[in-house]
Amino acid sequence: MKEGGDEDRSGVANSNSSTGKGHRNGNCRPITDDCFPSITTLSQAKEEIRRLREELDALSCDEHRQHTPSPNGNSTNAITPPKKKIEGGRAAVMARAPAEQDYVKTTIPKPKSVRDIINKAIQSNTLFRACSEEELVDLVDAFKSAEFPKAATVIRQGDEGEDFYVVEKGSLEIFVNVDSCSGKELKVGVPYLPGSAFGELALMYGSARAATIRATQDCKLWSIGRTAFRAITSQHKLKRTQMHLQFLRDVKIGDNVLGEVLSPEDINAMALATQKDSFAKGDVIVREGERGDIFYLIESGTVEVYKKGEKEEQPVASLSSGNFFGEKALLSEDVRRATCIASSDVKCLYLMREDFDLMLGSLQDLLDGKRGGVARRDNSRSDDIVASVLGGKVGNASTGNKNATTNTKGEMAAVAAKGNGNQTTVKYDLADLETKQTLGVGAFGRVKLVQATDAMGKKRSYALKCLAKTSIVENGLQDHVLNEKLIMEELDHPFILTFHCAIQNTRHIYFLLEVLEGGELFKFLRAENQFPEAWSRFYAASVVLAFCEIHARKIAYRDLKPENLVMDSDGYLKLVDFGLAKKVGAHGGKLWTLCGTPDYLAPEVILNEGHDWAVDYWALGVLVYEMTAGIPPFYADDPMEIYEKILSGHVAIPSHFSRGMADLVKKLLRTYQSKRLGRTKGGCAGIMKHRFFSGMDWAALTKRDMDVPIKPSSDLNRNFDFFPEQSEDVVGESLWTPIL
């Protein structure tokens, strides 16, 4: 066990991972063209932009340095002294898919030559990789034209991006501001010419543009905005998902119709395990007499069925969209009884028996009503799963509702919430809370350390998350905040932050939370650089147990990272910040909001394919890797490069990883959700039984009866950064008064 409390391990508990951006100040220096290498290719330009970003972080000076008064009142060229570097956490990103009724597709007329240019540009782009032909047609339809005269700025560095551009005619250059003092720009890379495209990150979420794009000739561009892109792709994929689910419900095997004998969760899992294939007219899909283990569903096109011995080799049946064949292959290795040939171009869904068994177990058992024990289902509570792994009973980790201590003084009474993690929940008025200090500052407010006197007259400490109503309303996040509250009060586990109650006044919504005095795991990881495998195993196991509880309730957490794992005073981890968590319910068991932290995004989130809690198991793989290697597996300075690495499907395993850890990471970082450990049969129990966790005393961990790797300092000031206090009056009043 390592003692915590070094100054460079200062952490912020429950701060929504938004405690400010890291920066490094240095002296301004003259920048001339000969300071930079010759750049002639796009790859060189990308590398130069990455280098310049680092340079920009290092360059910071007083913008009025020519007129800064000295202590004696005279003007001087002195610059502001460098400040201490701040180790800030990585911010999450979010871009909600517009509701179907919120977006009406608009078709912009354009000649075939322009459509061809746009088609060629987008088909080679990472973000369009998962788009069907129908999606691509609608996307091209939605591109709108814009003309820019010579010297006009199309994109300005630092502005928030919204549009992705394709060049029809003209030429544009890339410029990077390399000196914040003088405004000096450096031209980088090669020009954007007809057929080029740029600005794709804006299609994912709003972020600051990394460079300025300026026309060097009169230009005509075609662009599509993020709202249109995400609406079109989400709507197509949602409709396709619903169609596939109905196809699967209608499948009949013997006397059983799958939709009548399988649960909606099972049907969703089947859909998740299906893959796509295409066949040209005349292709033989299956041949009579061959052995097969693949089941086919026709999405579009027609298939003719032939049997040997039939007169004149005429088809005995013709199949079309929604029809299926080879269904017996899901039960056992099937000897094909007919030949199926594509009579037109055909698109099929297919499901291999191996993948079905991995996801759901034996189909015959499901048809017979044998659904297995708690380890078989992935919606079992964490206590049950631990018991199944150990082959016996364990003490309850979560105790449900407790007798709440009630203080309901004044008009702004708090609403009592469900207890969790063996802790008593309380409810207080604002007047009962005494503010001690600010623990962290986030995008919509701050987290404060407060104290209250309980019914026995004893002072108790809590964390008070203060969310400014005006900021919430301005950003349209009212439902988002209320959803966070509902999820937190539902969860009940020793490794999940305890939510006590919600309070409001005209300026803020307040969440009264358990105070975690140990600091973020992120701070300790940065101080250590990397953890020994034993430490990574301990912390990963705590996350797995928390996920057992969360996923049992069909909740996708969606923002796992070291910044959201905070230690209590005993050194045990708690999962915090449920701002991006969401229940998986309608829409075929999928969620469509792009959200999470770039290093931790799963492929299905990047490609807007719809996702569920399988994204959490992907993030768990990233976390285990980062804790033990010191960096995430897909690290890059440029966000699009991160996403390209994630979608490549390649994970470079460090040589110091044990075989067990390497195998766990690979199985968690499976591109296909249906093959990802944790989302497969058994759920969390499958992870707990993996050899990497061999020897882990799950019962002792559940009871918090183990030696912890790091024992945090008991000095609160060492575990928290300093933030100046702010008056409540700084935040404006709001008419929004939700029912809490």
pLDDT tens string 450-506: 999 988 889 999 999 999 999 999 988 899 999 999 999 999 899 999 999 999 999
More confident residue, 72 or 306: 306
Q: Residue 75: phi, psi to the nearest 5?
A: -75, 145
What does the block give as tokens for 138? Answer: 């609608």
**Rounded Cα gap, residues 261 and 248, in angstroms:** 12
For residue 3, the model assigns a pLDDT of 55
Closest CA to 642 of 586, 684, 600, 671: 600
Rounded mean pLDDT, 125-147: 93
> Which letter does DSSP use for residue 634 in this model?
T
Judged against a pLDDT cut of 70, whether residue 409 lies above it is answered with no
> pTM of the prediction?
0.81
Judged against a pLDDT cut of 70, whether residue 400 lies above it is answered with no
For residue 22, the model assigns a pLDDT of 36
Residue 427's pLDDT band, with cuts at 50, 70 and 90, is confident
For residue 219, the model assigns a pLDDT of 97
Is the fold of 95-225 the same as that of 250-367?
Answer: yes
For the stretch 139-151, pLDDT in tens is: 999 999 999 999 9
Q: At what angle do helices 133-142 and 112-123 cross, to 10 degrees?
A: 120
For the stretch 216-246, pLDDT in tens is: 999 999 999 999 999 999 889 888 888 999 9
Mean pLDDT of the chain: 81
In order of 94, 491, 497, 545, the CA distances from 576 in angstroms are 18, 11, 5, 14
**What CATH code would you report for 95-225?**
2.60.120.10
Closest CA to 438 of 66, 739, 725: 725
- Any idea which fold 405-517 has? Phosphorylase Kinase; domain 1 (3.30.200)
**Does residue 104 contact residue 179 with C-beta atoms inside 8 Å?**
no
Buried b (16+ CB within 10 A) or exposed e, 75-111: eeeebeeeeeeebbbbbbbbbbbbeeeebeeeeeebe
More confident residue, 417 or 365: 365
Which sequence spans correspond to the domains of the chain? 95-225, 250-367, 382-388+518-717, 405-517
**Rounded Cα gap, residues 363 and 365, in angstroms:** 5
In terms of CATH architecture, what is 382-388+518-717? Orthogonal Bundle (1.10)
Catalytic residue among 138, 559, 568, 616: 559
- DSSP line for 668-690: HT-SSGGGSTTTSTTTHHHHHTS
Residue 535's pLDDT band, with cuts at 50, 70 and 90, is very high
Cβ neighbours around 66 below 10 Å, total: 10
- Range with top average pLDDT, 19-23, 193-197, 477-481: 193-197
**What CATH code would you report for 250-367?**
2.60.120.10
More confident residue, 39 or 643: 643
Helix (H/G/I), strand (E/B), else coil: 658 = coil
> Which letter does DSSP use for residue 526 in this model?
H
For residue 351, the model assigns a pLDDT of 92
For the stretch 536-576, pLDDT in tens is: 999 999 999 999 999 999 999 999 999 999 999 999 999 99
Helix (H/G/I), strand (E/B), else coil: 180 = coil
Does the active-site annotation cover 492? no
Helix (H/G/I), strand (E/B), else coil: 466 = strand
Q: CB-based burial of residue 130 (10 Å sphere; 0-12 exposed, 13-18 middle, 19+ buried)?
A: middle
**Does residue 582 contact residue 589 with C-beta atoms inside 8 Å?**
no
For residue 302, the model assigns a pLDDT of 96
**Rounded Cα gap, residues 110 and 133, in angstroms:** 18
More confident residue, 49 or 320: 320
